[in-house]
Structure 1
Amino acid sequence: MNDLTIIQASQGLCAYVLANVSAASDRGIVIGHDHRHNSEKWAMITAAVFMAQNMKVHLLAGQVHTPMVPFSLKRLRAACGVMITASHNQKDDNGYKVYWENGVQIIEPHDKGIARTIEANLEPGSYDISAISTSSLCTDVTQKMREDYLQYVKALSCQDSESQKAEIRVVNTSMHGVSHAILTKVFESLGFPAYIPVKEQEAPNPDFPTVNFPNPEEKGALDLAMKLGDEVGVSYVLAQDPDADRFAAAEKQRDGKWTPFTGDQLGTLFAAAVLEQYKSSGKPLSKLAMVASTVSSKMIAAMAASEGFRFVDCLTGFKYIGNTALTLVSDGYEVPFGYEEAIGFMFGDEVRDKDGVAATIVFMDLINSLHAQGKTASSYLQELYQRYGYFQTSNSYFICTEAPTINKIFARLRNFGGRNTTGNPDYPKEIAGLSIIQIRDLTVGYDSSNPPTYKPTLPLSSGHMIQFKAESPAKDEEIFLTLRTSGTEPKIKYYLEGRGHDASKVSGLLARVVAELGDSWLQADSNGLGRP
C-alpha cells in the first residue's frame, strides 16, 4: 500500500457507492484508523477523496479499534465505511477494510463491482488533506460514537449482585495495539476491578517490539502476560489483537501451568453463556440462531440439536458470518452470537463483525458468574463436553510455494480412486479407519448430502476447499476435516475436529488422521511440502 493505491481505491469506492447507494452523499462515509505506520495519513487521504466528490465524512479521529467503524456506520446510517488497519498482520503490513451500508464487510457482488470501478478510476486526482478539519463536509463523531459504543458494550453484560461480588482480577495485554484506552473505560463503567496491564505492551506501537508476530494465537505471544499473571497471582490472562477485533484468553491450572483456550473452546463457552442468557429471557428457543464459519467447531451444532435453536454455518470470514446473521434476522430469528475459530467473536445486533472488546466483557461476565458458583472456565467447559459430547480440534497447515503442486494435490483428491473418467469426482473413501460419509467440495460445487442436484448450499470458494465428515464403524466417533488453500499465504491449511466420549481416544484418533493426511492424501514428502 502507498498513497497512490489509497487514492485509486478511494476514487473507485466513492464512485461505486455514489452509483449504488441511495442518498450516499448525504449519508456519507465513516472512516477510522489504527496505529499502524501511515494509517492516519491514509485515512485522511481517503476522507479527502470522498469530500472532493461532495460526500460527507464521519471521521473517527485518533486511533480507534476496528469495530468502531461498523458500529458507527450503523448508528449514523452511513452509506459505507473504511477502516485503515492490518489487524494482527506483521509490522510492515497495512490494509483497507471496506464496509457496506448494512454494516458488514463487502461480499459479492459489491467486491467485484468496486474492483471494476477502481480499475475505471485509476488516474489519481490531487487532494489537499490540510483542508479536511475546516470543511463543512467533515464531522468528527469520535466522542459521541465512543459514548454510544460504551453503552452498547455495557448492555452486553448481565451481571447480578452475586457475580459482581466475585471481583475477579485479570491481566490483560493490548499486544501493542489500541484496546487499552477503550477497555479501561469499559471496565470502570461496569464496576469491574481494574485489570493489570502488561506495561511493555500497553501503549500502541506499530513496530510490536516484544512479539515476533502480533497475533495472540501465535506461540509465545502471551508469554509476557502469563509471566505477569504468575507475579501478581491471577488465574486468567486476556488479550486483544492490535486492532482489538479479536480476543484470546488463558487460564492458570492447578498445577501452575497456563492453558490458552482455543478459538473453538472460547466459541463454545460464549455460545453456552449466550444460550443461558437467552433462556432466562423467556423467549422461544425456536427463534434463536447462532452462526459459525464452516471450519469452526461442530459443537454449537450439537448444542443447537440438543437445545432446539438453529445453527447455521457459512464460509470463513466475518463478511459471511455478518451477512448470514442479517439474513437470519430477516427470516425472523434473533442472532446474538457468531464466531470463527480464529478467535473472532460477534455479539448482539449492533456490530455484525468480530469485536475483541465486546468479547473481553462477555468473558469477564462469564468467569465472574462461574466464580460465584465455585467454577472456572475450564471446569465449565468440561461440563459442556459431558452434556453435548467431547470435541477436540487439531488445526495446522502444510507449506507449499508452488501453485501447480497445490493444484495437482487437490486434483488427486478429486480422483483418489482413479475412477474419475466421466467427470464425476472420486474422493477418498476412508481415513484412519473411519468411513467418509459426507463430502462437500466448495471449489467444484459438489455436496454428497444434497441429492439429487448435489449442489452445496454454501457459496463456492475462490480457492481450493474440500470438507470431509467420517465416522467409526460403531458411529461413536466422528471427524470433520476441511482442506483449503490460503488466499494470502503459501499454505494448504487443514481444520480437523474429532468428536467422541473419551478425550484420550479422540486425541489419538486426530493424531492418526493427521499422519494419514500428510503421508497418503497430500503425499507431503514426495510433493516437497513443508511442515510448521
Structure 2
Amino acid sequence: MSQTIPQHIQQLVDQWLELDPFEVTRKDIQNLVQQGNVAELEKRLCKRIEFGTAGLRSLMAAGFSCMNELIILQTSQGVCKYIEECTKDVSDRSKVSVVVGYDGRHHSKQYANLTAGVFLSKGYTVHLFRTMVCTPFVPFAVSNINRSNSGERCIAGVMVTASHNPKQDNGYKLYWENGCQIIPPQDEYISAAIMQNLSIWEEVRKQLKTDGNGGDEEQVIDLSPWSHLLQDPTKTQADEYFEAIRKYNYSNGKPVISDEKIVYTAMHGVGTPFTYRAIDLYGLPKCIPVEEQIEADPEFTTVKYPNPEEGKGALKLAMDKCEKEGAILILANDPDADRLAVAERQVDGSWRIFNGNEIAMLLADWVWTQYKTSHPNEDYAKCVMIASTVSSKILRAMAAHEGFKFDETLTGFKWIGNRADQYIKDGYTFLLGYEVEIGFLVGDCSLDKDGVRAASVFAEMAHSHYKGGVVKRLSEQIENIYKKYGFFAMKTRYFFTPSTDLLHKVMEELRKIENGGYPTFIPSIRDSSKHFKIASLRDLTKDYDSAQKDNKPLLPATPTSQMITFTFENGTSATIRNSGTEPKLKWYVETNDMDKQKAFDLLEEITPSILEYLLKPKENGLVAPQD
C-alpha cells in the first residue's frame, strides 16, 4: 500500500523535477512518488551528496544523494566557477584548459562528456580522452601539459571513476594544476560554488539530447559547437607518459630476466593495455593474463567487490591461473589501475598476499638501492620518501639507517602528492610515496598513486631478485629487509558501519571511555591482570595531540572526519578512522621489535584487546567483513 508523500519530501521532489532535464532520472523519481515509496525518496533526496577532497563517489541513481547526470553537471558548473575565480588574470580563456578522462564503468563516458561540455561552454580548452584510460593518465596529463611551455595553463583534471567500488557506483575525482588531488579549503570553495549553480546553464542545456542507442535512452551532450576548443590527448599523453616512466626502468630496457612467470589481472578494469605496455617498455616478458578479468567489464562479472586488496576472494582466479601455468607471482591492478596488489606462491605451494606495507618495503629497497648505484656521490639527505600516517613506520627506520629523509602525511594521496610537490619545489629528490591501502607512487613524473608504473617497476625488481639467486621468493627479501631495519608487524582491517550516525557514536564513546575522557590504558583480553599503557594520543578530529607541548598536532586537523591514533609505551601504534569513500570504520595496529617473534606475539595479543575495549564491535553492531 502506497504512502502519502510528506510535504518536506514533496518539496524536494518538486525541486528535483524543476532542476533535472534528464528524462530517465525524472521518471525514476516520478515512479517512486507514484509508488508512495517514502523511504526510498527520503534516501535519495533528503541528503545531498557531499563534494569533498576525494570529489564524489556514490550509487548511480536519480536523486540528490546519488551519482547521476544532474549531479555531474551541477558539480562541473561549481568547479568551473571556482576555476573562473582562480584565473581572473587570464584574458583568453582558451589558454586555460582542463583534462577529462573516464574508466570502463556504466555511464563513465557519458559523465565525462557532460563534464567536458560544461567547461567548453565557458570557453575553456578541454583535453577529453576519447577512450577509457587508467586514472594515472589524468594527473600526468595535467602536469605534463603545464611542463610543455606551450603557453597553456592546465588548471585541473577530472577523472570519472569509482575505483574499486561495487559496480553500481561511480565517482568524480578532481585534480588541480600541480597534478595532485585537491586539498582543503579548495573543496569548501567548490562545494559553495556548486550550491550557487544548481540550475543547468542555458548554453549547456540547449546542447543536451537523448540517444537511444541499443534501446537504452541516455542523455548525452552535443559537443560539436565547441570543437575548436576540444582536444584529444589520448595518443600524445600516452606516448609521453611511457617516455617519462623510462627513468624508473633501472636496467634501461635490458633487465635481468628470470625463468619465473608472472600472472596479471586487471580486475575487470582498464589497466591491461597500459600495464602491458609499461612492462614491454621495460624489456620484460609479457605477463600471463587472467582471461576472465583482463577486459574492462562494468558488471565485474567474476568478483562481488572488484578490489584486489580484499585478498584471496578477489585473487582466486589469478591464483588458479598461476598454478595452471606454473607461475609464482601475481600482479593485480584495481579497476582504474591506480593501485597495485601482489601475491606470491611460496616454495611449499601456499600463497602469500603481500600487504601494502610489504609491497612498499620491496619497492623502497629496490628504488633506494638502484638510486644509490646510479648516484654514488649525491647528498642523500636531500632525497625523500613519504607515507601516510597509518602506514608502517618501516620507511622511517630505513631513512634513519640510510640517511635519506622520511615524512608522513594524513591518509590519502591528496596529502602525499601535495607534500611531494612541496619537497620537489624545495630541491629534494622525491623517490617514493605510499599508503598501506596498496597505493604507490614511484618517482616524480606525476604526483598521484599509479598502479601502472608501480607494476612495471615491481616486475623488474621481482625478476632481478629471482634470477639473482639470493632469494627464491620475494617473501625472503622482505625478511632480509626486516632483519636490517627491525620487524614491523601490522594488522589492518575494518568494520562495516550501517550508518554514519553509528560511526560517530562509536568514536564519541571512545573519547569518553575512561572517567569521561580518553583512555590511558588497554586491558589485555588474555590476562585480566595485564594492561597496555598508552604513552600519547593524537585526535586529529579534535585537533589534539598529547605528545606535543602545546597539544597541537603536527598534522592538520580533520574536523569533518574521524581519526584517533594511540601510541603505547611498548612501541605499538594503533589508529582508528573512518573511510573517506565507503561506510567503514578502519583500524591499523602495528608493533615493532628487532626480535621477530616478540613483534608478532605482541601484535596477536594487543590487537584484539584494542578492538574489544575501544570499539566494542558486538555491542555496537559493527559488522566484520567476511573473507
- Alignment TM class, shorter chain as reference: over 0.9
2:511 pairs with 1:442: no
Cα RMSD for the two superposed structures: 1.9
SS of the residue 2:79 aligns to = helix
Candidates 411, 434, 454, aligned match of 2:508: 411
Counterpart position of 1:460: 557
Asked if the contact 1:237–1:250 (Cα under 8 Å) also holds between the matched residues in 2, the reply is yes
Counterpart position of 2:158: 82
Candidates 481, 494, 497, aligned match of 1:384: 481
Amino acid at match of 2:159: M
Counterpart Cα distance in 1 of 2:68 and 2:506:
36
Of residues 337-346 and 487-496 in structure 1, the stretch that sits farther from structure 2 once superposed is: 487-496
Of residues 202-211 and 126-135 in structure 1, the stretch that sits farther from structure 2 once superposed is: 126-135
Cα separation, partners in 2 of 1:201 and 1:228, compared to 1, 3 Å: same
2:174 pairs with 1:174: no
Cα separation, partners in 2 of 1:409 and 1:161, compared to 1, 3 Å: closer
Asked if the contact 2:537–2:547 (Cα under 8 Å) also holds between the matched residues in 1, the reply is yes
Counterpart position of 2:27: none
Candidates 211, 220, 223, aligned match of 2:303: 211
Asked if the contact 1:413–1:428 (Cα under 8 Å) also holds between the matched residues in 2, the reply is no
Counterpart position of 1:496: 589
Candidates 352, 373, 388, aligned match of 2:468: 373
Cα separation, partners in 2 of 1:97 and 1:490, compared to 1, 3 Å: closer
Counterpart position of 2:370: 277
Counterpart position of 2:51: none
Asked if the contact 1:263–1:340 (Cα under 8 Å) also holds between the matched residues in 2, the reply is yes
2:521 pairs with 1:429: yes
Counterpart Cα distance in 1 of 2:499 and 2:128:
43
2:318 pairs with 1:225: yes
Candidates 124, 129, 132, aligned match of 1:60: 129
Candidates 166, 178, 189, aligned match of 1:102: 178
Counterpart position of 2:47: none
Counterpart position of 2:83: 17
Amino acid at match of 2:190: I
SS of the residue 2:489 aligns to = strand
Counterpart position of 1:6: 72
Cα separation, partners in 2 of 1:336 and 1:27, compared to 1, 3 Å: farther
Candidates 31, 34, 37, aligned match of 2:106: 37
Q: Cα deviations across residues 330-371 of structure 1 (Å, max 9, x unaligned)?
A: 332211210001100011111100000011011012112212
- How far off is 1:403 after superposition? 4.6
2:118 pairs with 1:49: yes
Counterpart position of 2:3: none
Asked if the contact 1:163–1:372 (Cα under 8 Å) also holds between the matched residues in 2, the reply is no
- How far off is 1:39 after superposition? 0.7
Counterpart Cα distance in 1 of 2:459 and 2:386:
22
Cα separation, partners in 2 of 1:188 and 1:509, compared to 1, 3 Å: same
Cα separation, partners in 2 of 1:268 and 1:186, compared to 1, 3 Å: same
- How far off is 1:179 after superposition? 1.0
Counterpart position of 2:250: 158
Counterpart position of 1:118: 194
Cα separation, partners in 2 of 1:331 and 1:450, compared to 1, 3 Å: farther
2:456 pairs with 1:361: yes
- Bigger radius of gyration: 2
Q: Cα deviations across residues 382-403 of structure 1 (Å, max 9, x unaligned)?
A: 0001001111111122343355
Amino acid at match of 2:489: Q
SS of the residue 2:620 aligns to = coil
What pairs with 1:295-374 in structure 2 (closer than 5 Å)? Answer: 295-374=390-469
Amino acid at match of 1:197: P
Q: Structure 1 regions of 5+ residues with no counterpart? A: 473-477
SS of the residue 2:308 aligns to = coil
Cα separation, partners in 2 of 1:407 and 1:187, compared to 1, 3 Å: closer
Counterpart Cα distance in 2 of 1:409 and 1:187:
46
Q: Cα deviations across residues 237-270 of structure 1 (Å, max 9, x unaligned)?
A: 1110110000011111011112110011101111
Candidates 506, 510, 514, aligned match of 2:603: 510
Q: Cα deviations across residues 268-325 of structure 1 (Å, max 9, x unaligned)?
A: 1111112112222122110011111111111111111111211111111111110111
Asked if the contact 2:142–2:157 (Cα under 8 Å) also holds between the matched residues in 1, the reply is yes
Of residues 275-284 and 125-134 in structure 1, the stretch that sits farther from structure 2 once superposed is: 125-134
Asked if the contact 1:48–1:127 (Cα under 8 Å) also holds between the matched residues in 2, the reply is no
Counterpart Cα distance in 2 of 1:346 and 1:133:
39
Identity over the aligned pairs, expressed in percent?
A: 40
SS of the residue 1:395 aligns to = strand
2:266 pairs with 1:200: no
Amino acid at match of 1:49: V
- How far off is 1:426 after superposition? 3.8
Counterpart Cα distance in 1 of 2:613 and 2:116:
53
Counterpart Cα distance in 2 of 1:45 and 1:491:
31
Amino acid at match of 1:19: E
- How far off is 1:404 after superposition? 4.8
Counterpart Cα distance in 1 of 2:270 and 2:365:
29
Amino acid at match of 1:294: T
SS of the residue 2:460 aligns to = helix
Cα separation, partners in 2 of 1:147 and 1:168, compared to 1, 3 Å: farther
Cα separation, partners in 2 of 1:20 and 1:271, compared to 1, 3 Å: same
Of residues 516-525 and 397-406 in structure 1, the stretch that sits farther from structure 2 once superposed is: 397-406
Counterpart Cα distance in 1 of 2:287 and 2:124:
41
- How far off is 1:104 after superposition? 0.5
Asked if the contact 2:540–2:563 (Cα under 8 Å) also holds between the matched residues in 1, the reply is yes
Cα separation, partners in 2 of 1:526 and 1:184, compared to 1, 3 Å: closer
Counterpart Cα distance in 1 of 2:381 and 2:323:
44
Counterpart Cα distance in 2 of 1:160 and 1:486:
40
Counterpart position of 1:475: none
Counterpart position of 2:210: none
Amino acid at match of 1:449: A
- How far off is 1:430 after superposition? 4.3
Aligned residues: 521
- How far off is 1:488 after superposition? 3.9
Cα separation, partners in 2 of 1:228 and 1:403, compared to 1, 3 Å: closer
Q: Cα deviations across residues 79-132 of structure 1 (Å, max 9, x unaligned)?
A: 111011111110011111111111101111211111111111111131533334
